Structures are given as C-alpha cells and as structure tokens.
Amino acid sequence: MKPIKKPWPTKDAMEQIYELKLWGENSSKFYSGNGSHQPEIVAPYINAITFFLTSFKIPITVCDLGCGDFNVGNQLVKYTQKYISVDIVSDLINYNNMNFQEENLEFHCLDIAKDKLPKADCVLVRQVLQHLSNAEVIAIVAKLLAFKYVILTEHLPTGDFTPNKDIISGQGIRIKKQSGINLLAAPFNFKVIAEKELSSIKLEDNKGVIVTTLYQVF
C-alpha cells in the first residue's frame, strides 16, 4: 500500500505559477513577474539594499526568502559575506543553482513556513508574504526573530487601508481586498526595536505602492 501523499498547497500553487507562466514570461525558463524585472521597481530597491549592506565595515551574511528567478538577488551577492537564497519551487532552485554560481552563494529549496531557516545576520523578504495566508505569515514571523535585521518589501494600497486581511496562498495578493501586510499589527504583532523605511515606489494608475522597510530585531 502506497503512503498517502500529504497536500502541500502553497508549494503546488507556486509551482503552477511558474508552469503556467501566470506572472508573465521572458526568454528565461522561469520568470518572477514585472516586480522583479521592471527597472523603475528594481533599481530603487537595489540601491537601498546596497546602501544598507555596504554600511558595514565587515560584510554581513544574508538570507533571501523567496528568491524567485534571482534577477534581483543576483545584484546583491557581491556586497555580502555569504548570500543564501531560498525558494519553495525545487525546479526553480535547481535552475538557479546551474545559472548563478559564486563562492559566497548557495541555494536551498525550503518551505519557509514549515522548514527551519538558514542562519544569517539579515533576512530579505521581498514581495513574498503578500502571497501567503495569515497562518503561514504567523509561522514565518516566529522565525524572523532569529535574525538581527529583517528587510521586508510589500505591495500595499495607497492611502489608508485595513491591514492583514486573510487570503488563500497563491498568485494573488491582499491589495484586491484593499489590504496589505503590516507585520507590527495584529495578528502578527512582530516585535522590533527599530524600523526605517528604505524605499517607497508609487505605481502608475493608482495600483498601489511598493514599500521596503528595515526592522532591527535585536
């Protein structure tokens, strides 16, 4: 008798996104969407993170949760002592492993809500939590306490909004519900000692704003 295969809904959803090219496509086998490729979105983020990483006399270690097609992370590796990239899609991680090779770079296939995370000084979570259910975000927040610095990027509505409305994990985000992730608010209640906005990019046609925030945890 074959063992019953346990469902892994988030993994299945993310694999389907790449298989069906729901975030678009380019010449690469994998494409993580315009948010990882449009210069007006990517450049300010790269500039902000580079400024932060180069502010240390000794380069720090970084863990990138939800690295996607690595078009963004690839531009940050050289500023770190070690760069650990994580994603839930195994074929994507295998592809990245073959196409991006540096001495201080490694890739891991992990479900960040369920699996133990690699150790690092700083964790990058760029437009990842916005796709996950509140239950998964809660599980991840508990693990973020292990990092000294957390740099979170989220797509948020412009103006006032009700934070943290729940969704089913997948392609969509909370902005359709006029909501977005606020880690400091309920039900996440992430405890930090300091926070600083690193960048804010207003999208055209009133499609919201992409905000990157640095949290110092301890």
For residue range 137-161, list pLDDT tens digits in order.
999 999 999 999 999 999 999 999 9
Q: How far apart are CA 114 and CA 138, in angstroms?
A: 11
Task: For residue range 31-75, list pLDDT tens digits in order.
Answer: 888 889 999 999 999 999 999 999 999 999 999 999 999 999 999
- Please state, rounded to an integer, the average pLDDT across all residues of the chain: 93
Domains and CATH numbers, the chain: 9-216 (3.40.50.150)
Which pLDDT value is given to residue 8? 53
Contact 190, 164 (CB under 8 A): no
Which candidate, 97, 102, 139, places its Cα nearest to that of 117? 139
Cβ of 72: how many Cβ atoms within 10 Å? 23
